[in-house]
Structure 1
């Protein structure tokens, strides 16, 4: 399980983030902190893997929390923790400081719960891939950094709509395994040829991958799997 600490001075926002994190497979919220001091205390006690860190805190900036977690004075054998900044702070100096401080990403409020979910799923995928081997190839490194700091998604081709793209993507994401276009069509209620067009777009956008299943006879079956 990926242990998550949520740091936000807004109680309602913090609880919304907790509900989302706890709804994702492989994630659990270990604590919610509403101040910088509480955040640093929780890191020591709960040893989270990931901190969702707001920068507006009543007793100081969230950047002070990030700097403390990255300070040379922290013992070398301390539990490593990643930080995902979630904030309304739009000052470019703060963005630059977060990047230099090693934040895995910087989400600007207000953002949709889908955007946060997507980033958490990317983080989970990156962690799994990091644990698979001790030696990386350049392509693996490129993919890992692309997962944590993604490029903007490709525009939908003509004739495709965001609502149906989310419907098809959601069916594939929730399946937890690979599906054919026919199976996606059955789950979503769209035509098979329509499902295939959206699946091909998701593959081009890097959110899904195509796998070929070869049977004893006939053409190989196209299977699609969510990869974030």
Structure 2
């Protein structure tokens, strides 16, 4: 059972989030906090595996709570749940090592998907690794795999992209994959991103002197 601490200043919202967590197999709420100070106390006493952390708390900003936790040597994972869309908040959360960032308001399925992703990655992180592929899988959030492709993608083309990536000697960019398969770069990118979303492809960034970094894909799935 993965123990979860729910942190939200709004009592009604916290109650809803608690009910969401309790409906997801493998997860259980170990406490609810409505302030940053209460969250710090509960982390120390309950040692949750995961903290669902709101950023707008009445006594301190959520990322300050996270910084205090790390300074205290607490290693609970943190998933931010917030209405904050500002770049500074998101960037600060990522730099602080949060496992995910979920914008409010959200529904049950939104949270369930991210908690299942977390459970998958957590299992990989606590296992021994045999090779690079094992590590790539552990570092990749894997949404619940679906046999149904996203709207607009065809099974035949998906298989061609999969074959191109799985047999490539090195990583492929969307443009390189498009040349191999014979489709547009935009289409290739959609198929490759689907493979990444279902944990069958890893993504790395190649930085150039000018322009945006290039996304490179490598096959890791079965």
Smaller-chain TM-score bracket: 0.5 to 0.7
Following superposition of structure 1 onto structure 2, how do residues 95-134 of structure 1 map, counting pairs within 5 Å? 95-133=90-128
Say whether the 8 Å CA contact 1:119–1:148 is kept in structure 2.
Answer: no
Say whether the 8 Å CA contact 1:51–1:81 is kept in structure 2.
Answer: yes
Counterpart selection for 1:206 from 195, 198, 202: 198
Cα distance, 1:205 vs structure 2: 5.3
Q: Which residue of 1 aligns with 2:6?
A: 6
Length, aligned pairs only: 158
CA root-mean-square deviation? 2.8
Cα distance, 1:11 vs structure 2: 1.2
1:86 aligned to 2:81? yes
**1:156 and 1:143, CA in 2 relative to 1: closer, same or farther beyond 3 A?**
farther
In the alignment, structure 1 segments of 5+ residues that lack a partner are 160-201, 209-228
How far apart in 1 are the matches of 2:123 and 2:107? 25
Q: Which residue of 2 aligns with 1:32?
A: 32
What is the SS of the residue equivalent to 1:99? helix
How far apart in 2 are the matches of 1:204 and 1:64? 32
TM-score, scaled to structure 2: 0.64
Cα distance, 1:131 vs structure 2: 2.6
What is the SS of the residue equivalent to 2:28? strand
What is the SS of the residue equivalent to 1:85? strand
Say whether the 8 Å CA contact 1:70–1:101 is kept in structure 2.
Answer: no
In the alignment, structure 2 segments of 5+ residues that lack a partner are 155-193, 201-222
What are the superposed Cα offsets for residues 66-110 of structure 1, whole Å, 9 maximum, x if unpaired?
A: 111122xx24xx5x2000000001110111111111101111112
What is the SS of the residue equivalent to 1:56? coil
What is the SS of the residue equivalent to 1:90? coil
- Structure 1 runs (4+) deviating above 3 angstroms are 202-205
